[in-house]
């Protein structure tokens, strides 16, 4: 007994290519495959957005720009409302003459008055 195939029940893929149809019925992947693909694309898109947001935020932050220059031998002072150079110097070295430390803090603070939230990176060698 021999079986015959008609063109309606079987079609061959074109030479060198792939067909997504067998006969007149298209091949479909399982719904789980589509769901996994969508979740993967969603996770990648979310990761790219978070990475871009973190990158933009770190580039725009003046405090973050100086953090790369810090060494292990430094102390970071965050200026609070009402802080003065003299008050910070007395707090850092209560038993020493505050004038050299005030001069050092003034150089670190730059031009203008201290601003709340400003960070001063004080080398430990300046504390004496």
- The burial class, CB within 10 Å (0-12 / 13-18 / 19+), for 19 is exposed
Q: Which residues pair with 26 in a beta bridge?
A: 21
Greater confidence (1 vs 35) lies with 35
pTM above 0.85, yes or no: no
Structure tokens at 19: 């067909």
pLDDT at 26: 67
- Cβ neighbors of 65 (< 8 A, separation 6 or more) are none
- Tell me: the pLDDT tens digits for 63-122? 544 555 555 688 888 888 888 888 988 888 888 888 888 888 888 888 778 888 888 888
Contact (CB, 8 A) for 11 and 22: yes
Greater confidence (61 vs 115) lies with 115
């Amino acid at each position: 007994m021999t079986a015959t195939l008609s063109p309606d029940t079987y079609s061959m893929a074109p030479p060198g290519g792939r067909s997504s149809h067998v006969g007149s019925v298209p091949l479909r992947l399982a719904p789980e495959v589509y769901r996994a693909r969508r979740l993967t694309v969603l996770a990648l898109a979310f990761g790219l957005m978070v990475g871009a947001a973190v990158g933009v935020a770190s580039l725009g932050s003046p405090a973050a720009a100086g953090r790369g220059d810090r060494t292990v031998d430094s102390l970071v002072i965050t200026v609070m409302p009402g802080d003065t150079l003299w008050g910070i110097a007395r707090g850092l070295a209560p038993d020493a003459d505050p004038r050299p430390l005030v001069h050092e803090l003034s150089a670190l603070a730059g031009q203008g008055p201290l601003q709340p939230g400003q960070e001063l990176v004080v080398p430990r060698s300046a504390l004496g």
